[in-house]
Structures are given as C-alpha cells and as structure tokens.
Amino acid sequence: MTDPRLSDSSVFPDPVYKETVLRPLFDGAKNHHVEAFRAVDRAHLVMLTETGILDADQAGKIAGALDAIDAEVDPTTLVYTGEVEDFFFLIEKELKKRLGPDLAGRLHTARSRNDIDHTLFKLGLKARLDVLIGKAIALHETLVAAAEREKATLIVAYTHGQPAQPTTFGHYLSAVIEVLARDIDRLFEAYEIVDLSPMGAAAITTSGFATDRARVAELLGFAAPLQNSYSCIVAVDYITSTYGALELMFLHLGRPIQDLQFWTSFEVGQIYVPNALVQISSIMPQKRNPVPIEHLRHRRARPSGGRGPCSISCTTRPLPT
C-alpha cells in the first residue's frame, strides 16, 4: 500500500476548513477578545521579566513592539486570508516583523494557546457575569421595594389553577425574592469557578521554567491560579456552572411571569394593564393584549434556547431583541 503522505500535495488551510472553522474563530477573536489578548500578553511579559526569564532590555523591546502593533494594526479592519492560522499567530507574525523570530518568540515562553484561550474565555465570561449579577441584584432590590409597598394589597392566591386563599401581593413577591436571592448566590458560586486563572498551564503540564502563575493571575484580575494544569486546559465546568445558574434563574423567573399573565386574563382580572401598555387585535379590537408580559415570557425562555409560550401574535412575528 502506498504511503498517502508521499502523494499529499494539499496545502493548509483547505478552503472548506478555512471558511467553516478558521474564519469564524478569527472573527470571534478580533470582535470579542482583542483587549483580553493584549492583557494576557502584557501580564505574561511582566511575569517573565520579574522572574528573570527575560532581561529588562528584551522585555522593553517586546513591550515597545506590542504597543506598536496596537497603534498600527486595527483589528476591526482585518479580513481573514488563511495566511496565518488564527489571531494568535497574526500577533506573533507582527512581533517577528518588528523584533525578529528569536526575540519575538520569547514572549511565548512557558505558555500555549491552550491556556491562553481558556484565559480569554474566562475574562470574557467574568465581565458578562459582572453585568448579569449587577442586574440581578438590581431586580432583587426593586422587588423588595415593591413587596414593601404592596404589603397590604390584597390578592387571591391560587392552587391547582383555582382561587384558594386571600393573601397580599407583598407576601407573594416575598416568595419570588427568596428564590431570586438563592439564584444570585448560585451566580456568585459560578463566578468563583470562573475567577481562577488557567495561565501558566501551557499545553498540559506547565513548563520547566520557574514561572509565577499567581503573579499572572493577579495582573489579570483573577482571584488565584487554577491549581491542576490538566484541569486548566480540559475542564469547562466554569461554562456549565455559569449556564446552569443562568438557566435556573430564568426558569424560576418564569413562575411569576406566568402568574402575571394569568392574572391579566379577562376571566381573572386580578391585574389591570394600563392602555399605554396593551395592544389590540387587528380583527378583535375589544381585546386588550398584555404584550409587555408576553415579551417577558419570550425573553425568559431564551437562556433555555426556546421562545417560550406566547400568544398567537407573539409566534407569528419576530420580537425585538
């Protein structure tokens, strides 16, 4: 049998692979991770210098070249050509143009794209979790204020879809508040997992150089390094724990949204939606459609990958994002 390597004249990248894998990855990096790439390069450079792996002259030249790349290369204008494999190799190519291959390559001492990529993802996820936790806390504070304001407002509590006992709207909202508080705790727990730096794990087993992973973690704003180097580059529970906390929170928010929808129905009439927030039917103008609540149901379902139950009008035209 002929060795296929002897007759292989193909050249990387294959056009299909380039368009379906490499280009989307490159575009994702240039659109979402440029600032994190810059932070990782500089934190790693500082650590290499402080540990004596690079001397001050080498570090100064690399730092100057990185600054020059930032000033001269606009990521928003970049179009993927396949000349380099990914965004990392583009920066390395630019460094080599300015410093030569030996000095440029020294920035990559004791690291790999494996630990870099997970660090980029974690930095991006941390920023988004910061926003989400802030909004969840703001919602919690709003609900607490509403529960206090409505503590004497009588409503009918339902069980099995039937009117059961009198209670107050404040009492009802307090139940929502308690669940949301636990959901926020789960977001913080997920954040603690995200907040561990993979940098310094390199490909799998770290490096023979005497690096300082804790220093890189500190410079990048992480709480500490993730301890096991294999875990740094293969474990993705920081994603699943975040998604789990996110999905649970929106699943639980679906209950009060569903109740609000039910309470606005003509037959129940426990909530009145002002005219400014209702839409009428094009064929049944007497209807008062509580569209804000329908939009809440749709948005609540999106973290689970669904649209959620909606009225016919919701499912027949797109909703704004």
User: What is the model's pLDDT at position 311?
Assistant: 39
Amino acid (one-letter) located at 189 = E
Mean pLDDT by 10 residues, the chain (321 residues): 85 95 96 97 98 98 98 96 95 97 97 97 97 98 98 95 95 98 98 98 96 98 97 96 96 94 91 90 89 90 65 35 34
CA distance 222 to 198: 10
Compute the half-sphere exposure of residue 25: CA atoms within 13 Å on the CB side of its CA. Answer: 17
Tokens of 62: 């690399």
User: What is the model's pLDDT at position 180?
Assistant: 98
Tokens of 114: 């494996």
Overall pTM surpassing 0.75 (yes/no) = yes
- Report which DSSP code applies to 282: S
User: What is the model's pLDDT at position 306?
Assistant: 63
Amino acid (one-letter) located at 216 = V
User: What is the model's pLDDT at position 286?
Assistant: 86
Residues contacting 283, CB < 8 A, separation 6+: none
Tokens of 291: 């569209």
Tokens of 285: 């103008």
User: What is the model's pLDDT at position 285?
Assistant: 87
User: What is the model's pLDDT at position 309?
Assistant: 45
User: What is the model's pLDDT at position 321?
Assistant: 34
**CATH code of domain 115-272:** 1.20.200.10
- Please say whether the structural domain 11-109 has been given the CATH code 1.10.275.10: yes
User: What is the model's pLDDT at position 318?
Assistant: 34
Residues contacting 242, CB < 8 A, separation 6+: 125, 129, 187, 190, 191, 193, 194
User: What is the model's pLDDT at position 280?
Assistant: 87
Neighbours of 39 (CB within 10 A): 17
CA distance 24 to 87: 11
Neighbours of 316 (CB within 10 A): 8
Domain edges within the chain:
11-109, 115-272
Residues contacting 171, CB < 8 A, separation 6+: 147, 151
Q: Give yes or no for a contact between 300 and 278, defined as CB atoms under 8 angstroms apart.
A: no
